[in-house]
Amino acid sequence: MELDMPDQADRAPQACVSCRRQKRKCDKLLPSCSLCSRMSRACDYSEVTANPTFEDFATMRQKIADLEARLEGRRSESWHGPMRSVSRSPASCIDHSDRNATFPAAFFLDGEVFRDAQMVVPKPTMPVPPEVVATVGVSILDIQDVVDRYFANVQVWLPFISKKRMQLNLANPGMELTLDLALLLLSMKLILQVPQGGPHAARSPLYSLTKSYFNMVDSFGVVSLQVLQADLLIAAYEIGHGIYPAAYLTTGHCARLGHILGINDRKNAPQLLRRKPGAWAELEEMKRVWWTVMLLDRYVNLGSRGHPLATDDPVRNETLPADDGMWDEGELSTSEPLYVSTPTNVRASPFARTCQATHLLGRLIRLLNDRVLDASMRFSEAIQLHRTLQALANLLPNDVARAPERYGTPLAICYSSLMHLCDPFACTESNHGQHTVEETEMQTIAIAGLKTLAADVLRFSELFHISMLANPAASSPLVGDCLYFAASIYAWLANETGSKPMADAYHSLRRVLETMGTRWAVAHEYLALLNTSKETLYADSVLI
Angle at alpha carbon of residue 223, lines to 353 and 144, rounded to 5°: 65
- Distance separating alpha carbons of residues 415 and 483, to the nearest angstrom: 9
**Per-residue pLDDT at 527:** 95
Of 397, 443, 395, the closest CA to residue 422 belongs to 443
* C-alpha distance from residue 126 to each of 86, 94, 135, 182, 230 (Å): 7, 12, 18, 12, 19
What is residue 187's predicted lDDT score, i.e. its pLDDT? Answer: 98
φ, ψ for residue 342 (rounded to 5)?
Answer: -65, 135
**Domain 1-50 architecture:** Irregular (4.10)
**Rounded CA separation 29/16 (Å):** 9
Predicted pLDDT at 88: 40
CA of residue 14 relative to chain centroid, distance: 53
* Structural domain spans, the chain: 1-50, 53-90+101-248
pTM exceeding the 0.75 threshold for the entire prediction: yes
Largest CA distance in the chain: 112
* CA-based nearest residue to 345, from 387, 406, 302, 379: 387
Q: Whose CA is closest to 252, among 197, 210, 299?
A: 299
Phi/psi zone of residue 392: left (φ > 0), alpha (ψ -120 to 50 degrees), beta?
alpha
CA–CA gap between residue 132 and residue 179 (Å, rounded): 10
Q: Which residues contact residue 21 at a Cβ distance below 8 angstroms, ignoring those fewer than 6 apart?
A: 50
Rg (C-alpha) for the chain, rounded Å, is 29
* Nearest alpha carbon to residue 82 among 146, 134, 35: 134
Per-residue pLDDT, 65: 52
Angle at 192 between CA 188 and CA 193, to 5 degrees: 120
Residue 3's pLDDT is what? 45
For the chain (544 residues), the mean pLDDT of every run of 10, in chain order, is: 54 85 83 83 73 52 53 40 47 38 81 81 85 90 94 96 91 88 97 85 94 94 95 98 96 97 86 66 92 98 90 89 87 72 83 96 95 88 95 95 95 98 78 70 91 96 95 96 96 90 96 96 95 67 51
Asked if 299 contacts 354 with a C-beta cutoff of 8 angstroms, the reply is: no
* DSSP type of residue 474: G
| 245 upstream amide cis, omega within 30 of 0 | yes
